[in-house]
Amino acid sequence: MVPLGMVGCRLGWQPRLRWDKTNRRWRCRWQGKHYNLGRDYTRAARRFAEIVGHEAPTAPTFTVVELANEFAANRPVWVRDWLKPWAAWAGLGMLTTIEPSHLEQYAEHLIASGYAARTVRSRVKLAAQCLRGAQRRGAIDMIPAMPRNLPSPPIVPRDIPAPLLQAAFASLPARAGAILRFVLYTGCRPSEACRLRWVDVDLRHGTCHLAVHKTAGRGHARTLYLPPHAVTLLRDVRRSGTHAFTSRLGTPYTVAGLRSILGRRGIHSVYALRHTAAQHALDSGLPIEDVAGLLGHTDLRTVSVYAQIRDSRLRRVVERLSSPLPPDTGLLAPPSAPSPSLPAQRRKAARSRKPANAKRRRGKGGSPR
């Protein structure tokens, strides 16, 4: 005998379209069979009606505010905050009335409101992601085109200024200072330093073999090459467990914990130590290909950001450039006395011309006769 709860579940079950996030297509299940209905909602609804024998489900209707609220329902708080300007600007307009230039107009609105270039790009992309989800559900037929001339964010230095870096490391505890110095010396990712184990360290050859890293999904381990000062640092670290760097409680460090330690000293990003190491390597004259290999990057465009800020090679080229003009070309002559004006010249000429009868005879006493 089948339990009553299972009967109720079976009798209340209705076939429906379901979006498969893994394969990114519409699916349905009917009479024990699974059907892949493609990515287009209109075609999927038509095929679903043919399979099940029901009328095709109608596409849902949303306003921009409803779509933004539903999109941010199960996401972090910052998603809702980023979507507020879009919902306030679009108002209660229906999604079916969105124009093809909707995102371009939204970008112009953000620029006119004084948002930074990086903020404009991120907010517009988030709005496009919301509209892409509405298209999958059949609420709109097409997504408005992305703006082509979005402002590019300015390229700013990512390294830490030397005075701030020296002041922060001078006051670090011994244990935390060891792992942070290791990140600064080697340029590794903070998460790689937190997971580093002694079995992965080869001090004789000056290497570390990282089986777990950011690009480990490609099926190969990463070799981290240690400079001499990093090898000396690891030799001085006291071994108290399987991990190379542990806190005073004997547990491995976390990136959040390192961020908190540096944040109390004015540095709000642990990853900035990796940027500082890369920028210092380029400033020292290392080729960009070698710097990319040390950082574990396979694409040189990732490392080219540091070269755009300060390129030591171009700086040396500029120092060797000579002027195409002689040194004294275009130099001003020493300033001379200003020429008198025309009225002053006339007064001076009048004083120099004295009439003939202006001379008078003078006596012995000097008085005129």
Number of H helices, E strands in the chain: 16, 6
Averaged pLDDT of the chain: 79
Higher pLDDT, 246 or 323: 246
H-run or E-run covering 43: helix 41-52
* Per-residue model confidence (pLDDT) at position 168: 93
pTM listed for this prediction: 0.56
Strands 207-210 and 201-202, how do they pair?
antiparallel
pLDDT tens-digit map of 241-271: 899 999 988 899 999 999 999 999 999 889 9
User: SS3 of 276, please?
Assistant: helix
pLDDT tens-digit map of 34-64: 888 887 777 787 787 777 775 545 555 678 8
- Check whether 32 has a pLDDT greater than 80: no
Average pLDDT over residues 129-148: 79
Query: Please, how many CA atoms are within 13 Å of residue 103, restricted to the half-sphere of its CB?
Result: 23
Percent pLDDT > 90 in the chain is 24
- Check whether 172 has a pLDDT greater than 80: yes
Q: Is 55 exposed, middle or buried (0-12, 13-18, 19+ CB in 10 A)?
A: exposed
* Per-residue model confidence (pLDDT) at position 270: 92
Average pLDDT over residues 191-207: 92
Any idea where the domains of the chain sit in the sequence?
Answer: 4-52, 64-136, 162-317
Nearest to 309 by CA among 329, 288, 327, 289: 288
* Per-residue model confidence (pLDDT) at position 337: 60
The residues near 175 (Cβ < 8 Å, ≥ 6 apart) are 245, 246, 247, 248
Average pLDDT over residues 58-81: 79
**Tell me: domain 162-317, CATH 1.10.443.10, correct?**
yes
Contact between 173 and 137 (Cβ < 8 Å) = no
* Per-residue model confidence (pLDDT) at position 276: 92
H-run or E-run covering 8: helix 4-12
Higher pLDDT, 313 or 110: 110
- Give the model's confidence band at 164: pLDDT under 50 very low, under 70 low, under 90 confident, else very high: very high
* Per-residue model confidence (pLDDT) at position 333: 59
pLDDT tens-digit map of 295-306: 888 888 888 777
Nearest to 151 by CA among 123, 117, 128: 117
Higher pLDDT, 142 or 297: 297
